[in-house]
Structure 1
Amino acid sequence: MKTFLTFFLFVFSFSGLKAQDFQSHELSQFWSDLQTIKMLEGPDAISYKGTPYIYESSQAHIVLTNGQVIQPLTMRYNVHSDVMEVEKEGVFYTVPKEKHFPVISLNDHQFRLEVYQVASKRQLGYFEVLVQDSACSLFLKHSVLLTAAEEPKPYQDAKPAEFKKQEPNIYLSSNGGALYQVRNLKDVVELLGTHQQALETYAKKHKIKFRKIEDVKELVEYFNTL
């Protein structure tokens, strides 16, 4: 709760909102606490190629659980670390990964903080929303890998560590539950549990391919009409 309050005050300090309900000493304490989550730009002892970031926007906004919208903000998504960052005076700060900040929009890309299943464990992460429906929702989990640096070899220069963007993974949520990754039609049918014949017939007729995100979106939208 403390992290939520301090970050909330921080966002108030440079958004168009007012914060009359909070005392000034709380704001001072916030700036002190914030140092532990600050992310600075600038020279680094390690050289990297590529970038862990996508969708930086100066017109971003955060939607709180009570529906309050905080905007405009300059934000970006650090895919490699799976964190959202917000900028103030040239410095980026990490948005607390808490339920109080469930929706973040970066231009036309809406992200939600969702619970998802990985093997036998459940985790919390950011997903881009493609279809939002009470029956079945479709999400993308973006991925950026960091490859290790390589020492110089005979006839080969040293290679710096490099951030490499990967193809996003496709996740579905059934009836508002946890998100599960789907790789093929079998995964979809098993997760949704209903309308198996209709889904298989539609996928065959329309030649749905799971390597094409638009195809999967079409299949999900069809399922939501059944």
Structure 2
Amino acid sequence: MKKILFITGVLLAQSLFSQETDILNVVTTPDGFYSKPGRVRKEDRKIDGSPYVNGDKFEKVMIKDYSKNVQDLRYNAYRDEMEFEIGNELYNANKTEGLKVNFPSLKKTYESINYSYDSKTNSGYLVLLVDSPKFSLYKREKMELMAGTRSNNGFTKDANDYYERDKDLYLVAKNKKFSKFPKNVSEASEFFSVDKKELETFVKSNKINFNKEPDMIKLVEFINK
């Protein structure tokens, strides 16, 4: 596998971000993850709440085969983008299929992946919970933009639009085919092609709750053994 190196350099007029006067120290990559990114468009209205499920702070990241000298990132769950900042400007990193971005402080790894679910094809980031050649478990985090309300009298103020977190979606992947995590033992037995009685015994002895993330992880790890 070709080693991916980061180059820290001074970029001028025909540089990464086409800025005519600024001199920037920017980390770039041959595969394009940080190069030629799209500048994030600023909202032209007041929106309450935050599109960031992990907070607004940019965090240190680790990416396999990359130098440690990389831009700090944060995940925008509304736009489904990894953002980084240079000066006062905000940029989206380019999506690179299969790239895994580990946030050590958050104990979370996001994978950039093309996947199909509910008859729709998506290209975005999923939280990788179980990584296995058999069954992998992912979580989709999503923020929705909800409409505010307009005041119908002169005594109350209009309410701004606001971000609201959608329910996390858990997906099981096998051979790049994604399916919603099963709801119960019967569905799990059929989906994973395992003996129902054996699965029932495991679920009962480990008090598995099909709606709790730690139990989902435990179940998929058991299936993969």
TM-score (normalizing by structure 1): 0.74
The answer on whether the counterparts of 1:173 and 1:179 sit within 8 Å (CA) in structure 2 is yes
Seen in structure 2, the aligned counterparts of structure 1 residues 81 and 195 have a Cα distance that, compared at 3 Å, is: farther
Higher mean C-alpha deviation, range 88-97 or range 195-204:
195-204
Question: Deviation at 1:80?
Answer: 0.8
Seen in structure 2, the aligned counterparts of structure 1 residues 35 and 18 have a Cα distance that, compared at 3 Å, is: closer
| Residue aligning to 1:152 | 151
Question: Deviation at 1:156?
Answer: 4.5
Question: Deviation at 1:29?
Answer: 5.0
| Residue aligning to 2:23 | none
Please give the secondary structure, in 1, of the residue aligned with 2:158. coil
| Residue aligning to 1:213 | 213
Identify the structure with the greater helix proportion: 1
Q: Once the two structures are superposed, what CA deviation does each residue of 1:144-169 show, in whole Å capped at 9, x if it has no partner?
A: 11111211134653110010123311
Residue 110 of structure 2 aligns with an amino acid whose one-letter code is: F
| Residue aligning to 1:125 | 124
Residue 76 of structure 2 aligns with an amino acid whose one-letter code is: N
Please give the secondary structure, in 2, of the residue aligned with 1:110. strand
Question: Deviation at 1:28?
Answer: 1.8
Seen in structure 2, the aligned counterparts of structure 1 residues 35 and 46 have a Cα distance that, compared at 3 Å, is: farther
1:40-59 maps to which residues of 2 (within 5 A)?
Answer: 44-55=43-54, 56-59=57-60
Seen in structure 2, the aligned counterparts of structure 1 residues 80 and 112 have a Cα distance that, compared at 3 Å, is: same
Give the % identical residues.
Answer: 19
| Residue aligning to 1:28 | 14
Seen in structure 2, the aligned counterparts of structure 1 residues 53 and 202 have a Cα distance that, compared at 3 Å, is: same
| Residue aligning to 1:75 | 73
| Residue aligning to 1:115 | 114
| Residue aligning to 2:178 | 179
The answer on whether the counterparts of 2:61 and 2:72 sit within 8 Å (CA) in structure 1 is yes
Q: Once the two structures are superposed, what CA deviation does each residue of 1:160-215 show, in whole Å capped at 9, x if it has no partner?
A: 001012331111112x4233222513443343233444223322333322221111
| Residue aligning to 1:168 | 168
Question: Deviation at 1:19?
Answer: 6.6
For structure 1, list consecutive stretches of 5 or more residues without a partner in the other structure. Answer: 1-7
| Residue aligning to 2:7 | 18
TM-score (normalizing by structure 2): 0.74
| Residue aligning to 1:202 | 202
| Residue aligning to 1:138 | 137
Seen in structure 2, the aligned counterparts of structure 1 residues 49 and 83 have a Cα distance that, compared at 3 Å, is: same
For structure 2, list consecutive stretches of 5 or more residues without a partner in the other structure. Answer: 20-34
Residue 60 of structure 2 aligns with an amino acid whose one-letter code is: Q
Residue 18 of structure 1 aligns with an amino acid whose one-letter code is: I
| Residue aligning to 2:86 | 88
Seen in structure 2, the aligned counterparts of structure 1 residues 90 and 58 have a Cα distance that, compared at 3 Å, is: farther
Seen in structure 2, the aligned counterparts of structure 1 residues 159 and 187 have a Cα distance that, compared at 3 Å, is: farther
The answer on whether the counterparts of 1:138 and 1:170 sit within 8 Å (CA) in structure 2 is yes
